[in-house]
Structure 1
């Protein structure tokens, strides 16, 4: 429920506060006073496209703020929380939601939800759970087949929602399987080429049999073999210095002599040093042994091993050129077999997918038939209920028929839904898209909403001159039906008819100031004589006409009755 709206510098409105609250609120005012700007402002709060032309002339920006009373839990609260906003506590199970939108003269727009900045898309998400707006554009939309189908589905409630969800799931599965089949069949040659290329790549990898890190190890080995003579000379010199076969001036011999000299002395301190020198001798002998092994390995390798290493590196290089790195080649070896099996299995895969697609088609046919049957049953009830409403809306001879016929297959089913109107006895029902006048279409739309509200309630309905094209008794019945709708939902109606405004429990008047601007004081809640005067103005254009005032009192008495 919308509790309050504030408008600033929007259209001709300089500043206005609209206390709305529960029930039926009628908004009236002189032509050009800015009544429709109320709907425009509400649209901005609900995520409508921002138009800089709505900013009041001479102002830097327009702003709209609204306060909603919403359940503390549920889809609205979840959307607000996801946007980072919060609800202000209102009572035990409801909270206040603050929403605002600003629009600059340059066309930039900013929005906030629950005290946090949010994209306009969040406002649009909230709109589906908060408000249904009806105006001249919505009347035109009712002429479309999609809008008529949606109206029927809303009336059908959970019964249609369940079978429609089942149909949509079956539709998506059938489309997915069909797309997979088309992809495989349409790209068979490409897949065959991919399989052959993959088969050759795997064969080369298998023949080469690379090992992880082998390329780096071979590079190091090749470097050693390419410099074998230089390495041999360095190792030989080092080994001779540590332990020479002549045993004259190498480290091992000299260390042994030093140890023996110290051992002949009788000082314990020298004995400890002699042990350290002995360790040096042992260590020199070990290192000399390692160098001997290194020299023996070089002697065994020779030029033939270098050639073998380079040949192996060349084979690995071919894999690296083909796959980028040796690791990538090894990864392909680990995963390529499964992909090759998939590509080679096209025939069996197509056969399996075809069977699954045929089963999905059968399930889709069954779901479509169930959806059609459910819609057809609901269509009869909707037609009868709306017809009854039209009789009460000063169309006593009208008959509305909701026809469900076979149509093209889509994500919404296989049904064409058409709302047909026979305005008088003997007339063949014709599509409201062709046969209904503006006034008739207004009443059809209202009758549908009144009926649907019983199965698919909406928190707030906003009607922008839903009474266009009607008057007299028809207007009185429109007012009655709006009041009836307000028993279960909040109703806001911008109207120029006293017969409609009379049934509101909250009457707001937008008054144009002398300079053509609307100020905060120009939006007032009307009661008593002020309301009678406004009603008289709507009836006759005069606020002090005795006849108009008397007529206004008669209309206001109808609501009390």
Structure 2
């Protein structure tokens, strides 16, 4: 059950604490005081789109009756928190940040919210398909069906877009590109090194010429120096030896440098760079882009290969998958029809309790294969004892539709906590007494929280809360016995109304 709802801030509610009890919890108040604001907050933990305001924060303490093993949530007390600031919403579970999907999945296992005018769902395509599948326990069959249906759609898409010959041509083109780039063995590091060497080669010719000229000049200097031996006294020969030795070393060094330069093959570097430039022009503009495209081509090649294999056997594969889908859709239909019969009996019984006698029948229409099977399901009825069964929108008033929707909801109760937001719209008199009795009975096995304007429902509450609004601030009061009696007087029109009725 929900033990505590704390609202730190929401619209005009500030620092509000509501301690709910087991059984039937009723919330009442004047129109415009903000009764439904409380349910907005509870709904914020579900897929609820009626949140008002860009800033709010709240916590809900829920006692979980049993382990939710699939979600790894243990039985016991847990805290759900929500905060919205700067148009961003954050969720926490037991004080830790949690994803919206996780919080909603856990909360949806515990709480169902039934909103005012929810009878509009009666007209939505697929509403009864979902209900019957849930009650029938068709989850595993639907999961298998939907997996096959996705595959079926893929086959149809492929058949409509291409032939095996088209895909084979694409594979050949991709293979050529992949082979061309892979043979080149490109590397960003190698390209940078080649560019560096190429810049050096642009000056190579001038360097070789300079080294050659210097080497020739050194040979001439060496000849001149050797002639000087005969021209100078012997006491100078040792100095000449040193000079000749240095000249010889320099000459040898220049010859070694020339030899190294001659070993560099500019044609190889230019040829390798041309490979990079060619592939960049075709698949670039940069080498990084070429390599990224190569990776993408390989992924695409694998996908196209799979498409090709499917297309080769597409017709037979489609027939095979379609046959299995038809089998599963027929199984779903049988289970839905069986469940519809049982559900109608329960719905009619609840309607009788709600002071309404209606003839109802589910109409099944077979359709083409869809994501949820091959059924359109509509609820037909008539509130008169005779006459044709027609779509509900043609034969029922707003109040009658509300009672039919409530009867359906009562027949498919699936969570331990049930929240009702003014489901009593269009209900009064003896029907209101019947509805109060029905909710009281339901609260024996579930925690029920109801926002209502009916004193008949408020009178049987296990806990009664009244919401007041004063000077623009909302306040929630837990009523004692005296407070309940005073609130019930207000709901039936006050002392003046009662005195007037008594006088008449």
Report if TM-score (shorter chain) is over 0.5: yes
Counterpart of 1:2? 2
Aligned residue for 2:109, secondary structure, equals: helix
Counterpart of 2:452? 495
Q: How far has the Cα of 1:417 moved from its partner?
A: 1.4
Counterpart of 2:437? 480
8 Å contact kept, 1:232–1:298 = no
Of the three residues 477, 488, 495, the one matched with 1:542 is: 495
Counterpart of 2:76? 94
Aligned residue for 1:363, secondary structure, equals: helix
Q: How far has the Cα of 1:492 moved from its partner?
A: 0.9
Counterpart of 1:26? 26
What is the rounded CA distance, in whole Å, between the counterparts of 1:210 and 1:384 in structure 2? 74
TM-score (norm 1): 0.67
What is the rounded CA distance, in whole Å, between the counterparts of 1:537 and 1:387 in structure 2? 34
- Which stretch shifts more, 38-47 or 369-378? 38-47
Counterpart of 1:554? none
Of the three residues 397, 404, 408, the one matched with 1:444 is: 404
8 Å contact kept, 2:117–2:423 = no
Of the three residues 402, 405, 410, the one matched with 2:365 is: 405
Of the three residues 504, 526, 538, the one matched with 2:480 is: 526
Counterpart of 1:175? 153
Of the three residues 339, 353, 368, the one matched with 2:329 is: 368
Counterpart of 2:232? none
Q: Considering only aligned residues, what root-mean-square deviation do their CA atoms show, in Å?
A: 5.1
Q: How far has the Cα of 1:100 moved from its partner?
A: 4.4
Residues 1:434 and 2:394 are matched in the alignment: yes
Of the three residues 118, 121, 143, the one matched with 1:138 is: 118
Kindly provide the CA deviation profile for residues 334-363 of structure 1, in whole angstroms up to 9, marking residues without a partner as x.
Answer: 998998899799876621344433332222
Residues 1:50 and 2:51 are matched in the alignment: yes
Q: How far has the Cα of 1:383 moved from its partner?
A: 1.2
Counterpart of 1:148? 128
**Structure 1 pair 234/334, CA: closer, same or farther in 2 (3 Å)?**
farther
8 Å contact kept, 2:40–2:50 = no
**Structure 1 pair 129/223, CA: closer, same or farther in 2 (3 Å)?**
same
Residues 1:351 and 2:325 are matched in the alignment: no
What is the rounded CA distance, in whole Å, between the counterparts of 1:425 and 1:64 in structure 2? 50
Aligned residue for 2:378, secondary structure, equals: strand
What is the rounded CA distance, in whole Å, between the counterparts of 1:427 and 1:177 in structure 2? 47
- Which stretch shifts more, 15-24 or 40-49? 40-49
Aligned residue for 2:21, secondary structure, equals: coil
What does residue range 202-351 of structure 1 map to in structure 2 within 5 Å? 216=194, 219=198, 226=205, 227-232=207-212, 314=274, 317-319=277-279, 321-324=281-284, 350-351=311-312
Of the three residues 502, 505, 508, the one matched with 2:465 is: 508
What is the rounded CA distance, in whole Å, between the counterparts of 1:137 and 1:432 in structure 2? 14
Kindly provide the CA deviation profile for residues 162-197 of structure 1, in whole angstroms up to 9, marking residues without a partner as x.
Answer: 2111111111111223334444349939x8478458
Aligned residue for 2:434, secondary structure, equals: helix
TM-score (norm 2): 0.74
Q: How far has the Cα of 1:491 moved from its partner?
A: 0.8
Structure 1: gaps spanning 5 or more residues: 56-60, 80-91, 250-257, 259-280, 550-561
Kindly provide the CA deviation profile for residues 245-282 of structure 1, in whole angstroms up to 9, marking residues without a partner as x.
Answer: x9x99xxxxxxxx9xxxxxxxxxxxxxxxxxxxxxx9x
**Structure 1 pair 239/470, CA: closer, same or farther in 2 (3 Å)?**
farther
Aligned residue for 1:142, secondary structure, equals: helix
What is the rounded CA distance, in whole Å, between the counterparts of 1:110 and 1:204 in structure 2? 48
Q: How far has the Cα of 1:297 moved from its partner?
A: 7.9
Higher relative contact order (CA 8 A, sep 6+): 2
**Structure 1 pair 425/332, CA: closer, same or farther in 2 (3 Å)?**
closer
Counterpart of 1:276? none
* Matched residue count: 481
